[in-house]
Structure 1
Amino acid sequence: MKVSTTVSVKIVLLSLLLTTLLPLICEAQVIARLDRQVIGIDETVRLTIEADGARNTIADIDTSALENNFSILSRSSNSSFQIINGSATAKKTWTFEIEAKHTGNFTLPPFVIGKEKSNPLTLKVTDSTPTTALDPQNLKNVFLEVTPQMDTPAYLQGQITVSVKLFLNSRMRISEASLEEPDIAHAIVQKLGDDHNYQIKKGDKTFQVIERKYAIMAEEGDAVIIPPLRFQATSLNSGNRRLKGDPFFNRFTNQGKRIWTKSQELKITLTPIPDEFNGKNWLPARGLEIMEKPDDGKELKVGEPLTRVIQIEALGLTAEQLPEIEVQAPTGSKVYLDQPEMQTKIDNGDLLHAVKRQSLAFIPSRPGTFTLPAINIKWWDVVNNRQESAILPERVIKVVNAGPLAAAAGTSANLQQNKEPADKTGKAEADKKSLPVLQNNLSKTDQQISAELRLWQTVSAVLLFILIITLLLWYRSRRRQVQTNKLTRKTALRPIANRDSIKKACLDNDPKSAQAAILDWAAANWPEESLTNLKTVARKLKQPELMKTFTDIEKALYSPADQSAWNGEKAWLEIADKLTVSSQSKKKQKDDSLPPLYRNNSTS
């Protein structure tokens, strides 16, 4: 007994020692990424390196190997430390603005921290593409470029990627900037990912570039026409700097010069639908496939549902463009379709990825073999310019009867045994005389059993069918209720989550994330209003002192000088106690967050 107690104490002490030392022996995990994979020789690219691990394992980073082919124009770092369940973890992020020294295909060397190293990165550096107005005498301080980015023909209803670039002289200081979104008739326009920010040299000037990408799907016509896009802002000259401390700076005075520019109209000719395409739905895509989620493979019985989950995925289309999944019910069965689930994702920052998932229940009403027909979706391969087919093969399903079949089989076996004479040693004459009477009685018994069996099977099938329909309706109602409860909880937590996002963005000195978080917070508090910029949020809050704070955030977004000088911690102190809404607004938000699931439920 004493030996057992000593062993237990040693195990406990060893566990405590390992728990204490575990954070100290964990190595840092290193991740590196570039914001672009292809740049021009006169452009910059942003390199971000993140290291997660124990506090004492994250050392400084060595960039000497990187500087063989790249010049580091700027660098910054950010560190954080936290303790969770007794484990101390740290995170450090380095951000570099780099410029290639020559063209070529580069593999950035892994960055080593402790015993861990980052993933290798590839970067292609090309010669600069000449643009309009490259003459230094004619080059403007701000201009727009709208260009298509396609390596395949532009088909009707297919994805057309367009790049919108805003060039700003890096010496300019601006505020109250706005850029129009493309508004194209008879076309769907969807923004692709986040903006890219980098620098480029044109002539003797250095420009800050803000690049946005859009996916355009033309619904009709033989061409897509993108009208000129307009950018406008207020340029702050050197004489305005003395007013920087004025809370009404550049808001209620005539200081600053209003500037604007617009892009050229862009026309993209569409390739018509090829004559050789004979599909039911025109689907121009880079790839399309249809698949079915495997089921459990159990033996299927009469009246039992088989749940099928069929999914279509396509590259270069939206989920709304994918066709409906048509499933025909074989004779002797029913098929019930659920509402499809649709999602459109973005791959690699510029490619639409559509997903449509369809759930259905197959319910057989009789035993036997059922063939579920194949599903064939014809689509057009825009890369190879040919028709392709995505096929889900047919399925053969065997359905067996429920318990009554086994009972009937047992009864028939007993009757078969009774057909033998009781006395095997009896005379043949007695057998011949008794056989017709016995066969007649057995025939009547079989008919009665068969009639009763058919009646029982019919009643059971009807009752089972009603039960299944009831369960399906209850399941759908229950799932909608759960989704509504989740939505209600998410809606109630949005203002708190957005407020935390504002704080984090400010303390991280990230003006772009701060602007987005403030607008999200405003949208959560006033969902019925359209608050599209920080000025309208300040007015809605009735907090004039926030005008200057929000102005500094907007200036930091478009001016490199102001971005480096922006103090996010100070901004948060100025914002924190002013993000409040009136009691009436809170009451309205609470009422709006709990809509009734079924408005007429009480009368039904």
Structure 2
Amino acid sequence: MVTIARHSHPITLLWLLLALSTSASADFQAYVDRSTVTLGETFELLIKSDTKTNSSPDLEPLQADFEVLSQSQSSSISVVNGEFSQVSQWSLTLMAKRSGRLTIPPISIGPYSTQPVPLRVVETVNTADEPNDVYIETETTPDSPYVQAQVIHTLRIYRRVQMSNGSLNELNINKGDAIVERLGEDKNYEQTVNGHRYHVLERRWAIFPQVSGPLQIAPLLLQAQIPGNSSRSRLPGFFSRDLRTIRRHSKATTLDVQPIPDTYKEANWLPARQLIINEIWSNGKDAFIQGQPVTRTISILAEGLTSGQLPELDVAEVDELRVYPEIPSLKNMLSKDGIRGLRQQKTAIIPNNSGEYLLPAIHISWWDTETKQKQVATLPARTIRVKPSAASPVLGPAAETLTPLSGISETTQEFPAAAIEAPLVTGPWRWVSLLLALGWAGSLAFGGYYLRRKPTISEITEPPVNVNAQQARGALKSACQAHQLSAARAALIDWVKARWPEKPPTLATLIQQVGSASLAEAIQAMDASGYADGAGDWDGTTLWDGFSAATAKASEPSDQNDAFSDLFRLQSGG
């Protein structure tokens, strides 16, 4: 028996080792939810241990071919026939880094290791036989653009299932230099592909290359969650999750950016699909009246250029026409073909005299990106005919004057009708009357000398108003009623210069010295609007109301609350 025992000991030891190996393999195992996955989709790896352990699996071997997106752990304890058992599970969400036939390597925990698990990873394809739940595509036109010309880059996301928690990275340029502008909101529609109905989300960008040469657009990455496919799972209910994470990459796009053609010699490089220039007149191009402002609006509209790329207008000056340009208005509009840039230049024109005046033509050279030829947009020359003002006064004291300001009273001499109609005096009283008249004239001469030597505010008469002051007042009224900021400001300055020709105050002085709060605020608001983006929305009603009220109040006898008295004292040195 001893001999038998001695001979049987190696056999017993071998069976014992096999039993321990089988037990270890059964106690620590790894599973995947499916054997074939699509590149960019997540799958689940479950590691299960029937042996009590306080350690965690070593996941380092997974890093070579897989990305671990998330992991969780759970354990359960059960009692069967008085015996306790514990099961520990680790659930890993993985994503393959490449396609092909891969292997999930053994995972170790303490003295135990899992068996290798084979996995097939396929590229993202979309066919009638194997439609994808989600896929993306990009389109770029043109592929050989000119420098600073518009390129449209379009992304389309196709999905057959519900998608949640979606995220998309920003569009980036890997190589080269470009300005990127997103084109409006995303579009949603449906489309049939290979007999399958897809919901499509479309997003577009406008790209403007800044240098010639290669321009590489980086791939776009979509990450989202879609419902899990439990029907394809080979694992128990632990893997029947509601959502699974997917990733979809677009391909990198490389463009060959062309330089400015050698045949294009113009100062402004304007590559566009179309460029036009036109004009609009506030008076309908007809009624031009001396001294009255008219607004000319010149617009440049270009397909495929931003408003910032459009050039400033070089409008030649014309004698006898005062020109007051406003701040240009720049606007970018979105169309089905990309960005449409609009530049508008409003100019107030005030004719000094009647007659005919020639406004020269305006030419803008640009490059047609479709025909690859130079084009010229032209605004034809125009002759305007200015009529004399119906209220044009004659130069001199007989001209119609403005309402006098308070403290600047006009001295008028009225003769009684009886004196005008009285018969000629004869006899001795004739010489008496002559002596009295001479004395009266001498008194006037002395008084005039005294007044010139020591003038006072209440005794100074308003100087005669020339034709420019009256025209400026009319121009101010017309500009305010038409809400033309530049023309109103120019007319107000002209009026001030006409009223105080030797030492005209500035608008800043008017604001500081004028006694009317409403007029001061209106002038200040006008000046502030001239430098604001919304200068085109200026309302001239407040300025004209304040100006007309102040000048009307100036005709009242009292000099209290006079809108211009302080200003007049300042100009007069009083």
**Do these two structures clear the TM 0.5 threshold for a shared fold by scoring above it?**
no
TM-score, structure 2 as length reference: 0.44
TM-score, structure 1 as length reference: 0.42
